[in-house]
């Protein structure tokens, strides 16, 4: 499955809105890691970014849209700002807190590998924000 065209793209920002399906999450983890590497993020941190962004996107695929309706999507933003690489994964689904028998390790992995993490969940969607310090290029 090809990655959808960027909604917005500039030198320091990339915004993609893609279908909330496993193939998109798998493809985008490499796109995001390569984007961050090109903006000066050290390779070991880019690998952490790849893992944590993938976990956040996989959470959307698995948990945000439990009713299985069509037109489920996620919006991924990558930005270089304030000396950081920032990744945001957002959906318009319903977050279900707590451990589940078929998962429950995504957020602990995200928190272990991203220096800055916030999760904001509302009845209209969830936003996961991740950030890594990045030296000037």
What tokens appear for 100 in the block?
A: 């589940």
Supply the CATH number for residue 48's domain: 3.30.565.10
Residue 93 is predicted with a pLDDT of 87
Residue 69 is predicted with a pLDDT of 63
The pLDDT of residue 26 is above 80: yes
The average confidence (pLDDT) of the chain is: 86
Residues 66 and 46: their CA atoms lie apart, in Å, by 31
Q: How far is CA 65 from CA 19, 54, 72, 105, 133, in A?
A: 11, 17, 7, 18, 32
Q: How far is CA 28 from the centre of its chain?
A: 9
Residue 10: how many CB atoms within 10 A of its CB? 10
How many domains in the chain? 1
- Whole domain around residue 13: which residue ranges? 6-133
Residue 1 is predicted with a pLDDT of 44
Q: What is the pTM of this model?
A: 0.86
DSSP H or E run through 103? none
The pLDDT of residue 71 is above 80: no
In a domain, 1, yes or no: no
């Amino acid at each position: 499955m090809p990655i959808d065209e960027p909604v917005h793209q500039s030198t320091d920002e990339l915004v993609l809105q893609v279908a909330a399906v496993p193939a998109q999450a798998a493809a985008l983890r490499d796109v995001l890691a390569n984007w961050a590497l090109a903006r000066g993020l050290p390779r070991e941190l880019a690998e952490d970014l790849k893992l944590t962004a993938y976990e956040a996107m996989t959470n959307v695929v698995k948990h945000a849209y439990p009713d299985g309706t069509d037109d489920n999507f996620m919006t991924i933003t990558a930005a270089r700002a304030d000396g950081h690489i920032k990744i945001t994964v957002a959906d318009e689904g319903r977050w279900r807190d707590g451990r589940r028998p078929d998962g429950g390790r995504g957020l602990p992995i995200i928190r272990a590998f991203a220096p800055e993490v916030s999760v904001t969940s509302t009845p209209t969607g969830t936003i996961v924000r991740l950030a890594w310090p990045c030296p000037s290029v």
